[in-house]
Structure 1
Amino acid sequence: MNKTTPALALAALLSLAPHAFAQGMDHGKTGSGHGGMMATQNLPPAEAEVRRIDKDSGKITLRHGAIKNMDMPPMTMVFSVRDKAMLDGIAVGDKVEFTAVQDKGQMVVESIKPLKP
């Protein structure tokens, strides 16, 4: 039977720690993570009114309620959208439900859908 010294066992365990720690982190709240992709299913939705849409640049201005995952109070601000196609079917004045994250210094809409009147 091979006897492993405590120091060698500790070194092996510590070499695995960064990977195990990274796997357990909640990347959806901060916008960090593998490839910048977010776990949208875990994001709490917020409600907003669409104030302006710029499809060419992939931007939308929303007058939104609190965004809980970012500890953001209600305000009006411009967001980028993850995909310009998300803006299809959305019009100025629409009430919407959306999720957003901060990703690489920008506020990004991860999902958006019109609310039924």
Structure 2
Amino acid sequence: MQDHAQMQAQMHAQHQAAPEQAAAELSSGEVQKVDKDTGTLTIQHGPLVNLGMPGMTMVFKAKDAAMLGQVKVGDKIRFRAEQVNGAFTVSKLEPVR
């Protein structure tokens, strides 16, 4: 069993690696449709490594409705998709400038 100091050191190391891992976990895509009525984004994307999916075009729920106002059709994005309650959901979104 780990003592408190070991656990703290391990948590600190994980925290340091988190920003690099988060950037690596974002997928590239292009917005095909923004539907504010249904709270969804249609995205043509490359492979979604964390979901084990190849590139394709899919409809995703937006985790936060504010995401729908951040992008428009044709925008290149970096995003993270997750499966939440059975629905593919965009949990993080960064427009590529």
Both structures adopt the same fold (TM-score exceeding 0.5) = yes
Instruction: Report the TM-score range of the alignment, normalised by the length of the smaller protein.
Output: 0.7 to 0.9
Q: Which runs of 5+ in 2 are unaligned?
A: 1-21
Q: After TM superposition, where is structure 1 displaced by more than 3 Å over at least 4 residues in a row?
A: none
Indicate how the Cα distance of structure 1 residues 115 and 42 shifts in structure 2: closer, same or farther if over 3 A, else same. Answer: closer
Greater radius of gyration (CA): 1
Q: What are the Cα deviations for residues 12-58 of structure 1, in whole angstroms up to 9, with x where unaligned?
A: xxxxxxxxxxxxxxxxxxxxxxxxxxxxx587100000000001211
Normalising by structure 1, what TM-score?
0.61
Alignment of 1:53 onto 2:53: no
| Count of aligned pairs between the two proteins | 76
| Aligned amino acid, residue 61 of structure 1 | T
Q: Distance in 1 between matches of 2:24 and 2:82?
A: 8
Normalising by structure 2, what TM-score?
0.73
Alpha carbon RMSD of aligned pairs, Å? 1.5
Which is richer in strand? 2
Structure 2 residue matching 1:86: 3-state secondary structure: helix
* Residue identity (%): 41
Indicate how the Cα distance of structure 1 residues 47 and 71 shifts in structure 2: closer, same or farther if over 3 A, else same. Answer: same
